[in-house]
Amino acid sequence: MHADPLAEANLALDRGDLDAAVRGYQRALRIVPDSFMGHLKLAEVYRRKAAGRDRALLALAEREFGEALRVVPPAEAAHLQLIALGLALGRREQLRAAYAVGGAQAAIPFARDCLAEIDAARTPAPVADASLTGSRVGLAVLTCLLVLGGWAAWAFWPVAVRTVGHAVGADAKEQAPAFSLRDLEGRSVMLADFRGTSVVVLDFWATWCGPCRASMPAVENFRRAHLGRGVEVLSVNLREDPATVKDFLAREHREMHVLLDTLGAVAGAYNVTGIPTLVIIDKDGGLRDRVVGYRADLEEYLESVVKGLL
């Protein structure tokens, strides 16, 4: 029995073999020509290979993005992934046309929310700076769960920790995707606000997530210890309304700088496939490390990583 070419391509992408990933996604599309994930991931790989400079590869990425837009399934998570990639490619107007009245995606029940998410990203990141990092966890089944089952699949994420992504000092040229989100006071917070001044720790979480709650004391202690010392901890809440979050913080007596990722698009741009996920970004906007799941020594681990970035 032959291995699933889509799964093989995901594994190639996970180990950074972009040429093998291209061949794998192309094989997958020969088998299933209208595979949304096949087109989406192939577009992502072409974009990464282009590195913002190779116009021929960028044209291929845009073509595959157009195919993904054509065959996107009616799952909200799939549309969020598509929007994140489209914004990274600078296809804002193409996205707006698709979700606006009369567009190809206008009939979906959350089209208006998608438009709001597209418009909220007021300044699209340059192609080289808006990295969708691929299947960092190396498990194709997680991507399938995300698209077919929606973000609720996170409720079943194992508690065991995975540390993935970037060791300190490695791959420093890979930039964190730009974003702009509202906090609980309605203020706009952009990643660019901290460029050159602060190391940023993004903590993706939700009130219903047990491992997230278990990690909160360590994250809160770390944040308190570094206030005003060149480290900013941003707790990015996923797909919950402000009232739910405020009630939770009051009930649990938590002090967190919460940003509201109401559609999960920022989580999609950061390839968050399980929560809690913490992403560490250096002062130059480089992705440096990632922790997924509960970790008993989280506070000490964050201290060890951030110490080398200050």
Is 278 in a helix, a strand, or coil?
Answer: strand
DSSP line for 54-98: -HHHHHHHHHHHHHHHHH--S-HHHHHHHHHHHHHTT-HHHHHHH
Is 285 in a helix, a strand, or coil?
Answer: coil
Q: 235: burial class by Cβ within 10 Å (0-12, 13-18, 19+)?
A: buried
- Model pTM above 0.85: no
Out of 1.10.3720.10, 3.40.30.10, 3.40.50.300, 3.90.1300.10, select the CATH number for domain 152-307.
3.40.30.10
**Domain chopping of the chain, boundaries:** 5-129, 152-307
Peptide bond into 276 cis (omega under 30): yes
| The most confident of 124-128, 140-144, 274-278, by mean pLDDT | 274-278
Order the strands of the 258-261 sheet from edge to edge. 162-164, 287-292, 277-281, 199-205, 231-238, 258-261, 180-183, 188-190
Q: Which of 180, 177, 198, 202 is nearest to 189 (CA)?
A: 180
pLDDT value at residue 308: 87
Sign for the CA dihedral angle at 113, 118, 122, 126 comes to positive
β-pairing verdict for 277-281 and 199-205 = antiparallel
Return the CATH fold of 5-129: 1.25.40
pLDDT value at residue 135: 33
More confident site: 85 or 64: 64
**5-129 and 152-307 have identical folds:** no
**Residues with Cβ within 8 Å of residue 76, at least 6 apart in sequence:** 110, 150, 263
SS3 content of the chain, % helix, strand, coil (to 5): 50, 15, 35
Q: How would residue 121 be classed by pLDDT, with cut points 50, 70 and 90?
A: low
Mean pLDDT of all residues in 28-32: 91
First-residue to last-residue Cα distance in the chain? 51
Residues written for the chain:
310
Q: Can you point out the beta strands (E) in the chain?
A: 162-164, 180-183, 188-190, 199-205, 231-238, 258-261, 277-281, 287-292
Residue 56 identity (one-letter amino acid): A
Mean pLDDT of all residues in 43-47: 91
The radius of gyration of the chain from alpha carbons, rounded to an integer in Å, stands at: 19
Question: Model confidence over 171-188: pLDDT tens digits?
Answer: 445 889 988 899 999 999
% residues pLDDT > 70 (the chain): 82
172-to-98, 164, 167, 186, 202 alpha-carbon distances in Å:
35, 15, 9, 33, 17
Mean pLDDT of all residues in 77-104: 89
